[in-house]
Structure 1
Amino acid sequence: MKTIVSTIALLFTLLVTSCVQKSYKKTIVFTLDASEIKNSKKVGIRGNDKPLSWDYDTKMKEIKKDSLYETAVTFETGYKFTEVKFVVNDTFEFKDKKNRRVVFSEKDTTFYNAKYNIR
């Protein structure tokens, strides 16, 4: 009886632990050229993987007045990509179109340069 319980416990442990996907810390430095938009008051990014959200902007820092913005986001993920959209003055880019797909670099940090509303 003791052998049966031990075997079941071992099988259960293997089953539970083998389903967990390994995760990695990946950082993306997003740089956005929004020079086509005049009077940019609020520039951010949204996405489907934490710490980003589709419900609120992650603010981007102004690097060059009214044109260049940047932010660094660190993800803890098991995926090889994430999806995002930039938001300027509360207006999403690519309205009713696919999100930007950003593939993580093999290294810890990925640099992603974009122009607002242009693929």
Structure 2
Amino acid sequence: MNAFTKLIILAVLGLLTSCVQPSYNRTVVFELDAKAVKDIKTVGIRGNDKPLNWENDYPMQFDPKDSLYKATVTGKTGYLFTEFKFVVNGDFELKERDNRKVYFKNQDTIVYKATFDKLP
């Protein structure tokens, strides 16, 4: 076997045994205080990872018990965090600022509490 053939075999074996990042089901419970916004018609979330996207709102529902908008989002990811922004009446929060991030750590479910257009 010549050196070129050995190199090709090693390259193929390397591709076949390459590491694949494990992915996990992650759930984020979003709770949003939007009391400062007047005349709310729609509240949603847009973000990086499915089922979120940057083109359409993932709807949030108003909970009159605590006057918060809530949504539970579950997806499969191998990433350590995801990025998103809240949207009220089609208007993004935090204009010209970085996206919000939620870090998964080693938990399957994270509760993310926020106030519209304000970072913690």
For normalisation by structure 2, the TM-score amounts to: 0.84
Describe the shift of the 1:32–1:77 C-alpha distance in structure 2 as closer, same or farther (beyond 3 A): same
1:13, distance to aligned residue in structure 2 (A): 5.0
Question: Cα RMSD over matched residues?
Answer: 2.1
Residues 48-67 of structure 1 mapped to structure 2, 5 A cutoff: 48-64=48-64, 67=67
Q: CA deviation at 1:102?
A: 0.8
Moved over 6 A (4+): none
* Compared CA separation, residues 23 and 13, structure 1 to 2 (3 A): farther
TM-score in terms of structure 1 length: 0.85
Task: Give the AA of the match of 1:28.
Answer: V
The farther-off stretch of 67-76 and 22-31 is 67-76
Q: Which secondary structure does the structure 1 equivalent of 2:12 belong to?
A: helix
> Percentage identity across aligned positions?
54
For structure 1, the residue ranges without an aligned partner over 5 or more in a row are: none
Letter in 2 for 1:98: D
- Give 1:107's aligned amino acid: Q
Q: Distance in 1 between matches of 2:13 and 2:51?
A: 31
- 1:85 to 2:77 alignment: no
- CA–CA separation in structure 2 for the residues paired with 1:68 and 1:21: 36
- 1:110 match: secondary structure: strand
Aligned to 2:22: 22
* Residue aligned with 1:18, SS: coil
What is the alpha-carbon distance in structure 1 between the residues aligned to residue 45 and residue 63 of structure 2? Answer: 15
Bigger mean CA offset, 52-61 vs 19-28: 19-28
Structure 2 match to 1:35: 35
Q: Residues 2-17 of structure 1: matches in 2 within 5 Å?
A: 8=9, 12=12, 14-17=14-17
Aligned residues: 114
Task: Tell me by how many angstroms 1:39 deviates.
Answer: 1.6
1:118 Cα deviation from its structure 2 partner: 0.5
Distance 1:42 1:64 in 2: 15
